[in-house]
Amino acid sequence: MSDSEDEIVQSTLSSPANSDGNLSHSNVDYEDYDSNADSLPWVEFGRPMPEETERMKYRDRVHEQIGVEMIGEIFVCPVDPFLDHYLPPLPGSVDVAAVVEELAKANLLIKDHTTQSYRFAGFEEGFGAEDDDADEVEREEVCFTFSPLTAIGDAIRAILKGMGVRINPFRLALCLNPWLKGGHLPLDAMACKVDGCITSASLDFDGAVVQPAGELCPTDLVVPIALKACRHDYTTNNLQIVVSANHIFNEDARRRFSYGISIEGEYASIWYFSRSHSMKADSFNFIEEPELLVKVLASLFCATEEQLGFDSHITLIPGRDPRTYLYELPADGVTRLESQFFKTTQIIHEPWSNRIAGRITRVWKVVQVKSKDDLDAIDPKAAPLALKDAWIKASADDEYQIQQNVFRDIDTFYADDGWRSHPLLSDIASDDVEDIKDVLENYKNFFSVIRLHHSSEPNKPISSEGCWTEENLFFPSWTRSSPFQSRDTSWQLEREIRAFESKRRCFFVYEHVCTRISDLPTLGDAMDVLFQAYAVLMVMFCAGWVHRDISHGNILAFKEEGVWQVKLSDLEYAKRFPPDSAQTSSAPKTGTPFFMAHEILTSSSLSGFYHQNLAVPKRTSRRAARRGGAVESSPPVIIVHNYQHDLESLWWMALWLVTMRIDYEESYDAVQSIFSGSTPISTERRNCFTLGITSDIKDEFHPSTRNFVPSLEIVRRTFIAGYKTRHPKDVCKREQYSLVCAGFFNFFGEIEEDRDVWGPLPLSNPT
């Protein structure tokens, strides 16, 4: 604790009214503000300007959508099990009852001599029972009545320090509607407010954050706090705390998990957010049950940064804009005898997510530096590396393990002198088999090879006391006719099928910083790389693997000696094929909707055999029994991700590249509904694959690319024939795929004939 903080807490103990704990709230300056964009409104003296009402409505819609998507991953449990399972344990020397007595001596607690119980001072009788129809501005001003919380927080810290307990530097402060600003679009449009926080920011004597422009940066938030003076505002407050936590996870790469506190009137709730699930404790009356709040705050003040959710292997380097992090890959005793450090220089991939739980991935451009204290590059002339920061299921193999297994199986396949007789190669011409041989001879050069890796311990599992939250957690009028309900009607089903397994964090360092296939200079470059991707997929197929996530972000390229070389990436979803029975039934849908195979995207089979009688036994339902009859059950359609699904993703990518990635507005507009990424899929997308590329679409192709259509159609018809004629019992037989595997060799051979016409076309978005 700093000397200045000592002064503050001593003042707090002697006079709780000396610290109102309010953050400053001067104007927020959004440098990237675009008056024509749906961005966050300018604010004047902490309040939105009237003409920006529409943009505030847009922001509110974004927040509501976050609530709609988060509702499916939030559990609730009683307070005591929550504190035992999720909260950092108090040091053994801390006696909560003793802390309570010291607070009473400081006049922060009032004792009821009739019941011999305490209640917090500073909160009047009937606090929290304001009329639910109160004006919103009045409610915001009522937040000032929570100012005793800062005095309570500083007093608890001082008492703990007096007990000889080590405390962290994070203090509790309140604020009046400051914007929690994002660092880049679309975060400006999705910014949110916090009413208070436990923060790492410097506080002045009055408890205000000392910060330029009065902004509160997400990286300064340790624990967000949402406050409403009226106890009936719990739905609004629940949404606010969840949006704040979502914002923190999207903005701060250090976070493994986070706590949150929401208070409506006299009722408080504690939250836990993580990449596997979120948990809310039942609310309790913190004024009349002060011991619970004291225990919560004491636990948070005594916790280490790691116990508060910060990753000990990621450090935020201060004073850098944009934010710069230092990643540590600790010694593992095998591949590294000491820690290695990598400083981020540029973000390559950082998706915004409306959910916290999930396999969120960041990719950075990094340089290796000497140590945590010496940020100079080990080799100033060395090329930058790529570092992936990913979350995976605790029980799953990480990408490094999968990549090593794939490489091992490729070695085994190539070591067999009879590899050319593999069933998948039976319909491929001998000249084309030589292309596969070229890959086999130096196959690692066709992958984005992982040089270093680190895997952390799993985060907390779900408490055994947890149960699903109510539907009205965020929206009091949640009904089936709600516009938000109609946008995602499958959330209840998803709760039943999603596995909320603990997750672990993994770091992977790659040899090269690569370029996406969609960002290559020309269409000719892209088609060269797409052909290489096809060839390396064939090698994976022959070795008994499917990729399962073919997209423009996973087909990368690196320029070596003036030639673009494919670097197939992201093997985290790859699985052996044929799969075992457990994988067949449990493997989730994977892929990018733009390029996902039709059967995978629709969860339905194109096989004609599914429409025939598969001798499914009849079952007698309760209703049928009453009628004296039986009903025939529909066969369950289990879509097994197979070789053809990966190849179909290449087909979609080829169509996308020649229509949406060249600067030609006519073709872009013609296929926009096909590549909308919507689920369920659009009629245009369904018809494009099942019926064919229409003449209306073909006529809108760039004149230099219209010869692609006949070649694409031949591949499409081959795929459709494969799907329709393959019996479900034969899905896992390799020989069933030889003809569809051969189709792309013919495609690339045909388009090569007029390469000089389409090859030079530059790749870009239409202007």
Can you give the pLDDT at residue 195? 86
Angle at 63 between CA 59 and CA 65, to 5 degrees: 115
What's the confidence (pLDDT) of residue 492?
47
- CA–CA dist 399, 405 (Å, integer): 10
Domain assignment present for 193: yes
pLDDT bin (cut points 50, 70, 90) of residue 10 is very low
Q: How many CA atoms lie within 13 A of 489 on its CB side?
A: 8
What Rg do the C-alpha atoms of the chain give, in angstroms?
Answer: 30
DSSP 586: H
Number of neighbouring beta carbons within 10 Å of residue 253: 19
Mean pLDDT of 679-690: 94
Residues in the chain: 767
- 428-447, pLDDT tens digit by residue? 999 999 999 999 999 999 99
Whether residue 519 lies inside any domain: the answer is no
Bigger pLDDT: 364 vs 49: 364
Structure tokens of 514?
């690569």
Number of domains composing the chain: 2
347 DSSP β-pair partners: 364
Last residue of a domain, one of 597, 620, 637: 637
* Segment among 233-237, 314-318, 717-721 with least mean pLDDT: 233-237
Q: What average pLDDT does this structure show over 52-80?
A: 86
Q: Which tens digit of pLDDT belongs to each residue from 24-50?
A: 322 222 233 233 333 333 333 344 444
pLDDT at position 105 over 60: yes
Q: Does any domain span residue 326?
A: no
How many percent of the chain have pLDDT more than 70? 78
**pLDDT score, position 406:** 99
Of 309, 329, 352, which residue is a domain's last?
309
- Better pLDDT: 27 or 87: 87
- Please name the amino acid found at residue 226: A
Quickly state the pLDDT bin for 20 (edges 50, 70, 90): very low
Residue 142 has pLDDT above 60, yes or no: no
Q: Give the pLDDT confidence score for residue 34 in this predicted structure.
A: 35
pLDDT at residue 6 in the model: 43
- The verdict on residue 664 lying in a domain is no
Say yes or no to pLDDT of 510 above 90.
Answer: yes
Residue 275 lies in a domain: yes
pLDDT tops 50 at residue 410:
yes
Domain that holds residue 204: 3-23+61-309
- 241 assigned to some structural domain: yes
Instruction: Give domain status of residue 41, yes or no.
Output: no
pLDDT band at 661, cuts 50/70/90?
A: very high
Which secondary-structure segment (H or E) carries 390? strand 385-393
Q: Does residue 746 lie in a domain region?
A: no
Mean pLDDT (the chain, rounded)? 83
Which CA distances in Å does 379 have to 70, 369, 370, 583?
A: 44, 8, 9, 45
- Read off the pLDDT of residues 606-639 as tens digits, 9 standing for 90 and up: 987 755 444 444 444 444 444 444 444 455 568 9
Choosing from 637, 656, 679, the residue where a domain stops is: 637
pLDDT in tens, 544-593: 999 999 999 999 999 999 999 999 999 999 999 998 764 554 455 666 78
The answer for residues whose C-beta is within 8 angstroms of residue 582's C-beta and 6 or more apart is none
